[in-house]
Amino acid sequence: MSPPEQARQHQQERAELGAATARAVRTVWSGVDPEDLERSWLARAALVAALIRRGQLTAASSSEAWLRGEVGEGEGQVKPEAAVAATGDLTVPLLYPLIVALNRVGRGWSTALSILSGAAFLEMVTRSLIADAGRIADMAGMIARPRVVTYVRVVELPACPRCIILAGAEYSLSEGFLRHPRCDCTMAPRRPGDTWELASPKQLYEQMSPEQQRKAFGRPAARAIGDGADLAQVVNARRGMTTATRYRRTVQATTEGTTRRGLYGSRRAQFEKIPGNRYATATAPRLLPEEIYRQADNRAHAIRLLRRYGYLF
């Protein structure tokens, strides 16, 4: 059975949104003054932040309608703003393109090439942040729908080798989504009885032209794969994809939205003041949806926690 067309369309629309926002952001960046990179960029950063937040909110807002069409109503609706907040503050990400450009200048690069390097980094950050907001919303929405038991990774070409070898992989809702910078893969919900299958890594590889294979995997790897080598043995799938250890165990959590002003922090009763931090922060970490599902006793418990942590209405 063919995979649900809605899942592929959902992935394509997300990727197009990320690309369109990245182009808009790059246009703003292109107006920086080569003679005063720092001042001119800082004057434009607020506009770029607004463009990224708008893209993130659009991505997260699409989850509810898509999942409703795929698997019906959930026990609560996704809060797009909560998914956006969970991706983090934009202050540091928007400083990095400037740091990259100034670093290149300091190493003797031409100003023009240095600015192009900053632009490339800014595009990567933009697309990653938009994809993350959408995926967080998708995960929360799937957990809120008892008919969904697992999710399947949706990979569309062009894609990097790390994503290609994970194409069609099925995961528990408690498993976090492996991603890397600029990854625009999405997920498709699977219910008991669903028999559709997504393209396998080998099938995706065979859809690529020889030139595309060499460009994505490198000439030696493409030759090895062509000679019968296993894709997963050629590519290190987890390079650049990591989790963090917190509170004596591996969890997927975020510190975003945990101040009194945050979506999650405003609901918590206990706060602590951390030296050097302007705001008091909730003493308990704000878990991501997949971590909530992992720790919950059952689906109903997970849905209550999603509401408690601000992901559902």
pLDDT score recorded for residue 237:
32
pLDDT category, 136, cuts 50, 70, 90? very high
Residue range 67-99, pLDDT digits in tens: 999 999 999 999 999 999 999 999 999 999 999
pLDDT score recorded for residue 37:
95
Alpha-carbon distance of 237 to 200, in angstroms, equals 15
Question: Contacts for 254-261 with beta carbons within 8 Å, 24 or more apart?
Answer: 254/86, 254/87, 254/88, 254/285, 254/286, 254/288, 255/281, 255/285, 255/286, 256/85, 256/86, 256/87, 256/88, 256/89, 256/286, 257/82, 257/85, 257/86, 257/286, 257/310, 258/282, 258/285, 258/286
pLDDT score recorded for residue 238:
36
pLDDT score recorded for residue 46:
96
pLDDT category, 254, cuts 50, 70, 90? low
pLDDT category, 280, cuts 50, 70, 90? very low
Give this prediction's pTM: 0.79
Residue range 210-245, pLDDT digits in tens: 999 999 888 878 887 887 878 887 775 334 344 445
Give the pair of three-digit tokens for residue 97: 């393109």
pLDDT score recorded for residue 286:
67
